[in-house]
A and B are shown apart, each in its own frame.
Chain A
Amino acid sequence: MSKISGTVFKIKRFSIHDGPGVRTSVFLKGCPLNCVWCHSPEGIGSDISIWYNKNVCIACGKCVDVCPQGALMLTGEPEKYISIDRRLCTTTGDCVEVCPTSAIQFTGWVTTPSEVICEIEKDIPYFKTSGGGITLTGGEPLYQPDFAFEILSMCRERGIHTAIESSLFCPEEVIRQISDKVDLFIADLKIFDPFVHRQHTGESNLLIKKNLTFLVSSGKKIIVRIPMVKNITDTEENINSILGYAGSLSKNIPVEFIEYNPLAGNNYRRLGIPFPLDNLNKES
């Protein structure tokens, strides 16, 4: 048995918009980019912390009683809620353990490829009838390359169709190694201009383009996706550049436009961090 483990923050079954057929999407935690519009901020950091859903909290105070660090406080009038002092929290999980509503939860869990496979195998009958399979996504699935590789290999052994949704921002050798195990790459191309890309994601996209070129040249099946973020990625110029670029690489790369999830702000609130796009939207 391999000793590889990894961090996952969500496993979604009957996922129907992440590749062909009915799929199980596995969300790997951690991402090297820092996109201002990221709609799952809980997937950015590699470390596990806690997050809090005010909507289901019944303000029973049990979490406050057990916290060894005094990081929690019941506050608010008239509707009480929990405020978390994240500087004090050492992620002991005592609060998670006692919370009756699961309002406080960990933002992810450490697991092994075999455990993930167990979850995936449950839906093999549905993959079979629909031509579906698994999709590794994130976060950035290639940020945990060994873990991802192991899961994909195990899927292959079981005849499960494999897809990976990635920004392709990763070392070239990672792409080279893993591409053998992937039936479909869903490449998120956000911004064509390298400088603007850096401005909104923290990194330039030269590596991304290089990796994409490699995948095209090795004959991999690819879908390009553009997340439609208002005034950032959805400008005519950006879309046309990406379309032109994809077309120049190969004639048969489908390009999909992904509607932006209007509920993204909730996830930031649960993490207790500001939502960059909120400010951006206000400015514009």
Chain B
Amino acid sequence: MPKNFQIIPASERVLSLRKKTMSSERYISIGQAKIITRVYKENGDLPVILKRAYSLAAALNEMPLAIDPEELIAGNRTPDIRAGVVFPEAGLAWLEKEIETLPSRPQDPFGIRKEDVILLKDSIAPFWRGKTLEDNIYNAYGNELSSIEKVVKINQKDHAQGHICPDVEVWLRLGPSGLLEIAREKVKIAEGEKRSFYEAVSITLKASCNFINRYSELAVLMAKEEQDPVLRKNLYEISVTCKRLSEGPAANFREALQSVWFLFVILQMESNASSFSPGRMDQYLLQYYKDTDPDTALELIDALFVKFNQIVYMRNAHSARYFAGFPIGFNVTLGGVDSEGNDATNELSYLFLKAQDHIRLPQPNLTARLHKGSPPEFLDECSRVIGLGTGMPQVVNDESIIPSLREAGISQEDAINYALVGCVELSTSGNYLGWSDSAMFNLVKALELAINDGVCMITGNRIGPATGKLENFSAYEDLEESFRRQIDFFTDKMLSACNVVEEFHRRHLPSPFLSSVMNNCLNTGTDITAGGAKYNYSGIQAIQGANIADSLAVLKKLVFQEPIIDKSELMEALRNNFEKKEPLRQFCINRCPKYGNDVEWVDELGAKWIKYFASGLKKARNYRGGPFHMGLYTVSAHVPMGQNVGATPDGRLARTPLADGGMSPMYGRDKNGPTAVLNSVARVPSHLASNGTLLNMKFLPSLFRNETDRSKFTSLLKTFITLPIHHIQFNVVTSEDLRSAKADPDSWKGLTIRVAGYTAYFTELAGDLQDEIILRTTQGENE
């Protein structure tokens, strides 16, 4: 632990940067879209990978730059802070429709400049029509996608994949100039596609050096004009730092942080995607930290934390409602074990936690890796910061995750070096394209079809195979058979659809710059989208175990075993959304145990189907030749997913949200306290979820009010390490406060909440999502 780091205050400078960042007005920016469009027009017949490389290079060479004289870490993809960057190759359809309403939409609005709208409508959009990733996927496969969409939502159709932990270590060690040398050597002997690949990589790396150097030049110019001696000195330092980084690797802590930031800026300029994650920063930065004193280091980290909030990801109106506050997934992972299996926590781990205490913004997404040898001080510091109520750090469990990754086919060396990307997705460092969130599979909808002969209860349309009705099943096993058939039917369709989407990514969005920092792309001359990474997974989310367990428990116990509830009466009630059947609904809720209460037979009902689902994913390989595997995290999709599902036997009403998270019990139905929740969650086969899991828990702030009480929370973390559970994140807030915040958003602007793998401002979330968060059980609230 660094000495006295607890009492280092946030400097005025970083607080001022923080303020400016969060209060700056957001505009939509089409500067880069113009450049990309021009390059594509000029180079119509080049291979896509070269068009992409030249576009990125042109943006790096031409985009206007800005430096705030106060900032310690410079760089952004636009001169405006938090601009909504338009990125045409992936898809423009939504923007064409929504551009005029961007400034007035309720969630995450963006200002627009009139001339930009005209330019977009008249010259940019028409060129791209029919050429984007999205348009091509829909033309080729649209009907198939919409035929399964109620059960399976295929993702990544209109933006680049992201969700990657690049090899930051190699970037720091070699710098863009060092990587460029390698690529240039390779070009000489490569042929065909590989030659284009290496050329493309070289083009983007050369432009990256130039981009960084442009900051150096700008800083000098500004320094000459600057009157304030402190700011002038800072500008000179920026200039020197950038100059050195444009020519070689990072040599000290400031250069290293600056270099990391440039990497992520450029990755965003190439892909404009959610979730490029820096990974284990406390590990790879340690060698640069050595001679830095903690105060200086912490201020630099604070400054970088502010920077993480300056790039936002503009979403369409619908998804902005559920991903309010621009979760962009700069996930920083701390602690964990080293290659020998020893504790890897170091001084930087504590400084990063302290930076969270200082800055308290939605980004970065902070994750603490815990394991049996985590030092007590680290656990306690994690608890303390969690108690601040910012929802961070989330905690993950090495003891559960490393074996799970091994089981999924990852080497021991790589598994030990895992980090989180985006929200909660697991990844190795620098060699893994996990294609997270490839698709979401709504098991609850599949169960609805399984008891209703494949017919959607909301629309009355047939969408699945006719596998029988509950009324006609004579035993619980008949129901299981029907469920199995629905799952199989949609799994097959889903896997084919995922591969179609991936193929189009390869055709439209090869990413040479990203490939340059991903093992083994550079060695093998293969782009990341073509399978150049050492590991090529595709993550599919199973949604939602809690509702499956709860619904099957009611069916098994109350309908088949006892039987207290009549099949036709239940089906009738479900089809009519329990209208005039409130007693029956209450009976389903209260008279049958629920997942999350440590009732083994109920938990096992859910676990069985999670296992079944995971095994179905083994039926195919993905487009890049790797395996499909399961994730148990919904982010905030449990709300829109719930809108597709009719009333369920667990007493949930039609169209209301499903359970949150992925591993969490249905909100308000876990009544036996946090230990019971953890015991239930431990029965879910997390080891099969090598793509990641998500458990939300909400605690009262009073649990953190003194050291004795906090130590009881810490002991929960200690037990967590002994359980087969990958992940937990915590909200520390009272339901009362949340209710007040919903009613009076103006007074609660600063209230951040952990939604699902990311933190957002509570008052900016969609109303139905707010309600669901309020209803989540608060541990300690009911006596």
Contacts and interface: CB of A to CB of B under 8 A. Distances in A.
Interface of A: 12-14, 16, 21-22, 58, 60, 62, 100-102, 122-123, 125-126, 128-132
Nearest to A125: B719
Contacts of A128: 719
Interface in B580-635: 582-587, 590-591, 598
B718 interface: yes
Nearest to A102: B590
B248 to A, nearest CB: 48
Contacts of A125: 719, 722-723
Contact of B590 (A60, A100, A122, A129): A100
B584 A100 contact: yes
A21 B591 contact: no
Contact of A13 (B585, B591, B675, B712): B675
B703 interface: yes
B719 A126 contact: yes
A21 B584 CA distance: 41
4 tightest A-B CB contacts, nearest first: A130-B715, A129-B718, A100-B586, A14-B673
B590 A126 contact: no
6 contacts: A12-B673, A58-B586, A100-B587, A100-B591, A130-B715, A132-B715
Nearest to A62: B583
B778 interface: no
Nearest to B717: A129
A257 to B, nearest CB: 15
A22 B586 contact: no
B45 interface: no
A126 B584 CA distance: 37
Given A122-B598, A129-B722, A16 B709 contact: yes
A122 B673 CA distance: 12
Nearest to A128: B719
A129 B716 CA distance: 8
Contacts of A13: 672-673, 675-676
Nearest to B711: A130
A60 B587 CA distance: 11
Given A14-B675, A122-B598, A129 B582 contact: no
B779 interface: yes
Contact of A102 (B584, B591, B703, B783): B591
Given A12-B673, A102-B590, A122-B598, 19 more contacts: A13-B672, A13-B673, A13-B675, A14-B674, A16-B703, A22-B712, A60-B582, A60-B583, A62-B583, A100-B590, A102-B591, A122-B679, A123-B675, A125-B722, A125-B723, A126-B715, A126-B716, A129-B718, A129-B722
A58 B679 CA distance: 32
Contacts of B722: 125, 129
A62 B715 CA distance: 45
Contacts of B590: 100-102
Contacts of B672: 13
Contact of B715 (A22, A101, A102, A122): A22
Given A16-B712, A129-B718, A130-B711, A58 B582 contact: yes
A14 B584 contact: no
A151 to B, nearest CB: 19
A264 to B, nearest CB: 11
B675 A101 contact: no
A132 to B, nearest CB: 8
Contacts of B709: 16
Nearest to B679: A122
Contacts of A60: 582-583, 586
A13 B783 CA distance: 11
Interface class of chain B by DSSP: helix
A128 B716 CA distance: 10
A222 to B, nearest CB: 18
B283 to A, nearest CB: 26
Interface in B658-687: 672-676, 679
A122 B676 contact: yes
A58 B583 contact: yes
A158 to B, nearest CB: 17
A14 B584 CA distance: 32
A12 B782 CA distance: 11
B544 to A, nearest CB: 24
B514 to A, nearest CB: 42
Nearest to A40: B783
A96 B678 CA distance: 30
A100 B584 CA distance: 7
A131 B709 CA distance: 13
Question: Which of B586, B591, B672, B780 has the largest number of chain A CB atoms within 10 A?
Answer: B586
A104 to B, nearest CB: 11
Contacts of B587: 100
A234 B712 CA distance: 29
A21 to B, nearest CB: 7
B73 to A, nearest CB: 39
Interface in B735-783: 779-780, 783
Nearest to B682: A125
Interface string B323-344: 0000000000000000000000
B718 A14 contact: no
A17 to B, nearest CB: 8
Nearest to B590: A102
Nearest to B600: A122
B183 to A, nearest CB: 51
Contact of A129 (B674, B719, B783): B719
A129 B583 contact: no
Contact of B712 (A62, A101, A102, A130): A130
A129 B779 contact: no
A229 B703 CA distance: 24
Nearest to B672: A13
Contacts of B585: 100
B751 to A, nearest CB: 25
B717 to A, nearest CB: 8
A21 B715 contact: yes
A203 to B, nearest CB: 27
Nearest to B709: A16
A102 B594 CA distance: 15
Contacts of A58: 582-583, 586
A130 B711 CA distance: 8
Nearest to A15: B673
Nearest to B720: A129
Contacts of A12: 673, 783
Contacts of B780: 14, 16
Contacts of B583: 58, 60, 62, 100
Contacts of B779: 14
A130 B675 CA distance: 12
A128 B720 CA distance: 12
A235 to B, nearest CB: 27
A129 B715 contact: yes
B467 to A, nearest CB: 30
A52 to B, nearest CB: 15
A260 to B, nearest CB: 14
A130 B716 CA distance: 8
B742 to A, nearest CB: 22
A71 B587 CA distance: 22
Contacts of A122: 598, 675-676, 679
A128 B715 CA distance: 9
Question: Which of B584, B719, B779 has the largest number of chain A CB atoms within 10 A?
Answer: B719
Interface string B563-586: 000000000000000000011111
Nearest to B678: A126
Interface in B712-734: 712, 715-716, 718-719, 722-723
A126 B675 contact: yes
Nearest to A60: B583
A6 B584 CA distance: 34
Contacts of B586: 58, 60, 100-101
Contacts of A14: 673-675, 779-780
A231 B723 CA distance: 48
Interface string B259-272: 00000000000000
